């Protein structure tokens, strides 16, 4: 035995931190004879020998078995390092010839490691994790994981009986990265990392860069290449790139939770897979006129009740609805049908699950050690340490990987407000000021700017959207102008104001009229998306229909139609959560499908038809969809008529050839001969009336339109004498090209 008994004992008890230093083949001198020593560890081998591949017919060198666990060694005098394999025989007589995992050079270069430690390796997802590949002509999988404080790391999986002694990994200098290429391990193998901390305690961790995972409770990563799908969306991708730098374009988004949009009732209500759902969802979204869908988080997550917002697999579509290729099919199909896809991305926090990122190497590696910086009190989760280069590199790579591997068109960044402020949801004494004594999270702000710039640099036309609920300045302004660099910001203020208004009994709305108008004070400070998201229909908030301040179903539906009419014609892009388009009666439940059976009732089908027609109107008229960020395209006609709870405004196209008048009456009282001022003489055609019987209303209106009279009103020299049905919004169009 050449290896010291103490080292062999240390190896067998998992106390060896650098296996490449003595496993495999190494130059050696024994009793003044030079040669090579070969060591191997094969858990299933009764006998083992070394075969020289470049010398066919050369007899194999039998190895001495030094431990019953399968540790073998041989000294071969007079030889230098040579190309070899191990030939081993099992106790049941099978003979195998394999490559030695410890005879390969590292699969990461010094440049890879330098850029990663610096925080600038933007494609680190192609380096860390598990990557099936060939080294020369040898197939296998390259594994790498970042665990700088670990005393040793081993790869475990179903290929080695989950025994941490059989594939210890090597540290790559001072980079904190551990690496191992394992021959003959291919796609489909389950694996984790056994990570020992500085005190010798072992943690079994799943791969932070894993591309596929099995479900709970085991949560193992699966060796998988996400590069198999043959994409057919080239035309879509070219059109998307051509739209780069033009945020003021039609955008109406349908927010979807994949597991509960629709269920397969013929099979006990199971979830549809990505592949099954793609054509159904595409048909529906196309018919409804939405331009995009936004899917709630699809990155792997263990707890269904988190809806995907507590992520443990930042690079992998969740296993719940299919494989990575199934998700790629889903995206590809939507693109080929002309539908964009935005995904919710969650860099603000991560869960404390012991198998995932928390205390990954025995230290607070991805999170802050101080809970005043590192713990989210609202959600019981942990906050990323954005000041650490490798953590920032991890998150940037996650964002870019979804755009690269899955052709995603936009990232809606969740909980941005919680990232911007160190005192977010904290009392005095529960947070630590920044280095200037302020409450802003300087590192998080720098990270958001970096990821937005890189997304736009590498993938022109891809959108980034901030869910940001405060008055933080310049969220949707370029970083070159001191902004955060997002393309859009959710308009949370207008959402809350309008819902507060429509929740009131119409008798009391006059006292809250400012809720409809205050949003214009800040409307052009950001590039806003008007949103009614899943957050508004959970946690006992009631569905959109249930929120409406009315007693009967018919009145609730009329209120909701009026709200949608107001919002779709008001400046800003649009987003609506699934089910809200037809007036889902109950709160959203992630574990069951939507109440599609309600569409047999006219109130619900009418709502759906209205949303469809609002989308079609929005898409067909540039004045309503490409002037959202031009203040001169909007003008109040009368925003002060709180006594009657009416409101009116104008939208104009860029050339001044068309004008749109929107009039809302938000009490049940039908008002006749109601004069509304207009800027142009001629005929104003009524193009939409939320009170139409087609939408489930009473059918009162203006017989297709009205000519402007010479009666002055609202500061204009002419006006329209209108019938305003109760709880309704009416839309009129004037065109310079129309006959007078």
Residues with catalytic function: 414, 467
Strands 313-317 and 634-638: unpaired
The token pair at 248 is: 């003021």
Of 568, 548, 570, nearest to 559 by C-alpha is 548
- Strand ranges, E, within 364-437: 375-376, 381-382, 410-413
The token pair at 440 is: 């802003």
| Residues sharing a CB contact under 8 Å with residue 444, sequence separation 6 or more, in sequence order | 386, 419, 420
- What's the sign of the alpha-carbon dihedral 126, 130, 132, 133? positive
Residue with tokens 């103490």: 6
State the distance between the two ends of the chain, measured CA to CA, in whole angstroms: 105
Of 222, 55, 211, 35, nearest to 127 by C-alpha is 211
Phi then psi for residue 136, to 5 deg, are 70, -125
The token pair at 576 is: 């609506």
CB-based contact 495:536 (threshold 8 Å): yes
Of 432, 415, 421, nearest to 370 by C-alpha is 432
Phi then psi for residue 651, to 5 deg, are -125, 140
Give the integer Cα–Cα distance in Å for 38 and 61. Answer: 10
Give the integer Cα–Cα distance in Å for 717 and 677. Answer: 7
Give the integer Cα–Cα distance in Å for 229 and 527. Answer: 35
CB-based contact 10:16 (threshold 8 Å): yes
Give the integer Cα–Cα distance in Å for 508 and 562. Answer: 17
Whole-angstrom CA distances from 263 to 126, 277, 280, 733 are 36, 9, 11, 41
Hey, what long-range contacts does 156-161 have (CB within 8 A, 24 or more apart)?
156/191, 156/192, 156/193, 156/194, 156/204, 157/185, 157/189, 157/190, 157/191, 157/192, 157/220, 158/189, 158/190, 158/191, 159/185, 159/189, 159/191, 160/43, 161/43
CB-based contact 570:526 (threshold 8 Å): no
Give the integer Cα–Cα distance in Å for 574 and 342. Answer: 13
Bridge partners of residue 37, in order along the sequence: 26, 75
Of 555, 575, 595, 585, nearest to 690 by C-alpha is 555
Per-residue b/e over 644-660, b at no fewer than 16 CB within 10 Å?
A: bbbbbbbbbbeeeebbb
Of 88, 91, 186, nearest to 134 by C-alpha is 186
| Residues sharing a CB contact under 8 Å with residue 88, sequence separation 6 or more, in sequence order | 40, 42, 44, 45, 46, 47, 48, 49, 95, 96, 98
Residue with tokens 């035995």: 1
């Amino acid at each position: 035995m050449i290896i010291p008994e103490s080292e062999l004992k240390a190896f067998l008890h998992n106390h060896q931190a650098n296996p490449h230093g003595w496993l495999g083949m190494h130059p050696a001198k024994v009793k003044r004879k030079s040669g090579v020593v070969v060591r191997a560890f094969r858990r299933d081998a009764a006998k083992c020998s070394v075969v020289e591949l470049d010398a066919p017919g050369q007899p194999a060198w039998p190895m001495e078995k030094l431990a019953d666990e399968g540790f073998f060694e041989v000294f071969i005098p007079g030889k230098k390092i040579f190309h070899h394999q191990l030939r081993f025989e099992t106790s049941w007589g099978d003979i195998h010839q394999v490559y030695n995992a410890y005879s390969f050079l590292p699969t990461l270069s010094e440049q890879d490691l330098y850029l990663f430690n610096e925080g600038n390796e933007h494609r680190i997802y192609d380096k860390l994790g598990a990557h099936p590949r060939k080294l020369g002509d040898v197939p296998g999988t390259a594994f790498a994981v970042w665990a700088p404080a670990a005393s040793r790391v081993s790869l475990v999986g179903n290929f080695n009986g989950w025994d941490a002694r059989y594939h210890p990994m090597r540290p790559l200098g001072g980079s904190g990265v551990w690496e191992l290429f394992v021959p003959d391990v291919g796609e489909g193998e389950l694996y984790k990392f056994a990570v020992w901390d500085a005190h010798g305690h072992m943690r079994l961790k799943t791969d932070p860069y894993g591309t596929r995972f099995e479900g709970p409770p085991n949560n193992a990563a699966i060796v998988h290449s996400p590069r198999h799908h043959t994409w057919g969306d080239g035309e879509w991708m070219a059109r998307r790139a051509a739209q780069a730098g033009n945020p003021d374009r039609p955008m109406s988004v349908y927010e979807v939770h994949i597991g509960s949009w629709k269920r397969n009732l013929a099979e006990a209500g199971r979830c549809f897979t990505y592949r099954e759902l793609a054509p159904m969802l595409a048909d529906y979204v196309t018919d409804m006129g939405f331009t995009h869908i936004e899917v709630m988080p699809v990155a792997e997550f263990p707890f269904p009740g988190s809806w995907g917002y507590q992520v443990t697999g930042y690079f992998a579509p969740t296993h719940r609805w299919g494989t990575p290729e199934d998700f790629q099919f889903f995206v590809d199909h939507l693109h080929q049908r002309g539908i964009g896809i935005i995904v919710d991305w969650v860099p603000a926090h991560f869960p404390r699950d012991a198998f995932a990122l928390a205390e990954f190497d025995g230290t607070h590696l991805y999170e802050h050690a101080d809970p005043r910086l590192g713990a989210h009190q609202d959600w019981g989760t942990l906050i990323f340490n954005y000041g650490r280069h490798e953590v920032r590199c991890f998150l940037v790579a996650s964002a870019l990987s979804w755009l690269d591997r899955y052709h995603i068109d936009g990232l809606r960044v969740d909980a941005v407000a919680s990232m911007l402020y160190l005192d977010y949801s904290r009392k005095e004494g529960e947070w630590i000021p920044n280095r200037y004594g302020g409450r802003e999270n300087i590192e998080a702000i720098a990270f958001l700017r970096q990821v937005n710039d890189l997304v736009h640099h590498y993938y022109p036309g891809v959108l980034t959207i901030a869910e940001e609920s405060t008055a933080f300045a310049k969220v949707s302004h370029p970083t070159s102008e001191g902004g955060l660099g997002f393309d859009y910001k959710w308009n949370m203020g207008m959402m809350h104001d309008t819902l507060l208004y429509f929740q009131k009994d119409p008798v009391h709305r006059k006292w809250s009229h400012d809720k409809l108008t205050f949003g214009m004070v800040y409307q052009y400070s950001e590039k806003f998306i008007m949103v009614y998201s899943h957050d508004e229909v959970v946690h006992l908030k009631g569905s959109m229909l249930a929120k409406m301040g009315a007693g009967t179903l018919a009145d609730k539906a009329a209120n909701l139609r009026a709200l949608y009419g107001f919002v779709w014609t008001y400046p800003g892009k649009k987003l609506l959560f699934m089910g809200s388009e037809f007036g889902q009666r109950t709160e959203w439940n992630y574990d069951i499908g939507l109440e599609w059976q309600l569409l047999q009732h006219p109130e619900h089908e009418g709502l759906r038809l209205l949303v469809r027609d609002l989308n079609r109107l929005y898409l067909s008229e540039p004045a309503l969809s490409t002037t959202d960020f031009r203040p001169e395209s909007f003008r109040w006609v009368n925003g002060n008529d709180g006594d009657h709870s009416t409101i009116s405004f104008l939208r104009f196209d860029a050339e001044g050839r068309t004008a749109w008048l929107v009039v809302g009456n938000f009490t049940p009282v039908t008002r006749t001969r109601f004069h509304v001022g207009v800027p142009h003489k001629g005929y104003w055609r009524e193009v939409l009336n939320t009170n139409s019987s087609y939408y489930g209303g009473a059918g009162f209106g203006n017989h297709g339109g009205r000519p402007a009279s010479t009666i002055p009103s609202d500061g204009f020299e002419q006006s329209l004498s209108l019938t305003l049905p109760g709880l309704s919004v009416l839309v009129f169009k004037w065109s310079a090209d129309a006959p007078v």
